[in-house]
Copies of this chain bind each other. A is one copy, B any other.
Amino acid sequence: MAQEKEAIGAMEWKIKMAGGSSESLAPTKARGYPGIAWLALKGLVVGLVMKVWNFLKKAWDMGHNEPRKVIHCLKVGVALTVVSLFYAMRPLYKDVGGNAIWAVMTVVVVFENTVGATLSKSINRIFGTFLAGFLAIGIHCIADLSGKDVEHFITGFSIFLLASAATFSRFIPSVKARFDYGAMIFILTFSLISVSGYRVDQLFDLAKHRMSTIIIGTSLCIVITMIICPIWAGEELYMLITRNMDTLANSLDGCVADYFNNSGGFAGDKESDNKLLGYKCVLGSKATEESMANFAIWEPAHGRFNFRHPWKQYLKIGALMRDCAYCIEALNGCVSSENEVSELTKTHISNTAIKVSSDSSMVIKELARTMKTMKKSSAIDLLVGEMSNSVLKLQEDLKSLPKLFINPQQLLQEPESPGNDNKTKAEAAAVALMDIIPLVTLTSLLVEIVARIEGMVSAVQELGKLAEFKAAGDRKANQNQTTNKVIPDQSALQRV
């Protein structure tokens, strides 16, 4: 792989050199219009080659990073080649008339990335075709009985009516989510059969051939998609949610820690940026989650998921995670845009604030672990309790921060005492409210984030009930308890 990359680098270098040399040599060679035209053409070609090259490089990187996509492409290739071979075999070909082409078409249209999507399209295609075929033949029979003149009118009118109605049904959200493709196939098949009715007498044969070719095509797709490295929409959704939980936890932890470690704002370095990316991913994953959940309901039992796994609950958890991410976003914005806070006041609550964020992220990570292991967590209640304790402590700390809060005008007149080394003395001194605004905001938002995390906890517990998670093993629970155990702060429990 390293060799290939080197080779690519070398080739790119050659192309760059070629482009560079043509530009530097050309002016000395020719200065007239043809020369300029030649130069422009050369520049254009080199530019185009570079563009194509960059595109290919990006594509290569994508394929390299996500080999499952490459596997999917090969699967499509295999399915199409197999169905073409089937077409090439004369006996089979004769059996379905000239309509074997429908099998090829079915494979191209139905084969999707995930098993759920393929199944959804297949079932939609089969039932859409079936329903439309029956209706079309029925209407054709009626039209046949009513004479030549009325026949055309009936056919035209039925096409108009059913096409309009089916198109309308595609706007209805519940139909759109599951049967959009089926409605389109319904219109397609109905029109094709009705229209063919003008010509072909063997309408039943046509319908039969179309059905059998579609079944051949869809079966092939389903078999290949489920046997060769299957990608399950349900598992994708599950992975997405648990991965997002981890990144959300890291993001929350990183944001708060960064604020207190770097004086006055967030560091702009790469590591911190990567941590921040977490919540952005969560903010933008709604559409993916919904489509995955829609496909997942079509999937049979696979891996640890049974047929009626509560996929909708994952959407709820996803929505609650987004609610949490909104707050982190606001926190990120508010805290970094405010005036700087003096180091002294910051250090006063930094430990508790970092404790709250790390406790919260621990809860989120425990939720992710619960989902990953599919075992009820025995540590979660303890962790949530600890998180609540930390929040109370944070509020206490904030309250005790400025022992006296004097009118800022007076503060400005008096020069600040250089008592940085003497902490307790300085704490007793006056602190301007404006100075601690970011800290108050941070606290408020952390309190809100904690409240939303509690919502996530109950959603995951509900998922545990619905999906019948097993009880946790004692080993894991004990481990968590020993690593995270704290003596509950009784004074802090007395709510303000």
Contacts and interface: CB of A to CB of B under 8 A. Distances in A.
Interface of A: 55, 58-59, 62-63, 66, 69-70, 72-74, 76-78, 80-81, 84-85, 87-88, 101, 104-105, 108-109, 152, 155-156, 159-161, 163-165, 167-169, 171-172, 184, 187-188, 191-192, 194-196, 198, 283-284, 286-287, 323, 326-327, 329-331, 333-334, 337-339, 395, 398-408, 432-434, 437-438, 440-441, 443-445, 447-448, 451-452, 496
Contact of A87 (B195, B407, B448): B195
Contacts of A168: 59, 63, 69-70, 73
A207 to B, nearest CB: 14
Tell me whether chain A's interface is mostly helix, strand or loop, or mixed: helix
A449 to B, nearest CB: 9
16 contacts: A58-B172, A62-B171, A69-B168, A69-B171, A76-B164, A77-B164, A80-B159, A80-B187, A88-B198, A287-B287, A327-B330, A395-B434, A399-B434, A404-B405, A404-B407, A440-B440
Contacts of A63: 168
A188 to B, nearest CB: 5
Contact of A404 (B188, B401, B404): B404
A188 B108 CA distance: 6
Contacts of A401: 433
Contacts of A438: 444
Copies in the complex: 2
Contacts of A84: 155-156, 159, 191, 194-195
Contact of A432 (B81, B108, B399): B399
A294 to B, nearest CB: 14
A165 B73 contact: yes
A59 B172 contact: yes
A191 B398 contact: no
Contacts of A440: 433, 437, 440-441, 444
A399 B434 CA distance: 6
Contacts of A283: 326
Contacts of A88: 152, 195, 198
For the complex of A and B, list the 3 residue pairs with the smallest distance between their C-beta atoms, beginning with the closest: A405-B405, A330-B330, A77-B164
Contacts of A406: 404-405
Given A80-B187, A184-B109, A326-B326, A444 B334 contact: yes
Contact of A81 (B159, B284, B443): B159
A104 B191 contact: yes
A452 B188 CA distance: 49
A104 B404 CA distance: 81
